[in-house]
Structure formats: structure tokens, C-alpha cells
Amino acid sequence: MEDMVFGDPEPEGDPSHPLFEQLMIARSNRAQRSRAEYRSLFQPRVARCIPNLERSQRLASEVWARDLATLRILCLTEYHSQV
């Protein structure tokens, strides 16, 4: 996040997404704070998000593992490759 706020390349994302919107607001105000000040404000928020991210990742892995057992591939190509 810090690099997206203070870095040279313009971040790309969905302008209607609330997190991207906040990122762009922080970027437009980046001259008002140093990287260190931004980091000290941002790190506690990230720390609060980590448990939710870990839970979301665990749930996604469980769903993938469950659905993987039922996935199949159907290929209807007329070309047969010997690779």
C-alpha cells in the first residue's frame, strides 16, 4: 500500500471499490505526510485485517479442495497434439 501511495506508477484498480478509492485519496494527499507517518497510521489497520484475510484464505482453500473432487475436463478439439 505504501508503495502504491508513494510510488511513481499510477495504481490501477476499480475506481468504484472502496479500498481503491481510499488508496487514491491517500495518494492525492501524499505530500502532506512522510512515508514513515503513513506507515505508522497504516500498520495498525493492516494488523486488524490480517485475521480476516487468513480466514478468507482458509475458507477459499476449503471450497477449492471440496470442489476439486468434482471437476472434470472436456476437450472437443479436432487437433490431437503429441506433446
Task: List the chain domain ranges.
Answer: 2-68
pLDDT of the residue at 2:
87
Cβ neighbours for 40, distance < 8 A, ≥ 6 positions apart: none
Q: Mean pLDDT in each 10-residue stretch from start to end of the chain (83 residues)?
A: 90 90 91 90 82 89 91 85 70
Give dist(CA 37, CA 81) in Å, integer: 58
Distance CA 31, CA 3 (A): 14
Give the dihedral of Cα atoms 16, 12, 47, 27; nearest 10 deg. -90
Three-state DSSP state, 25: helix
Question: Whole-model pTM?
Answer: 0.52
What's the confidence (pLDDT) of residue 36?
92
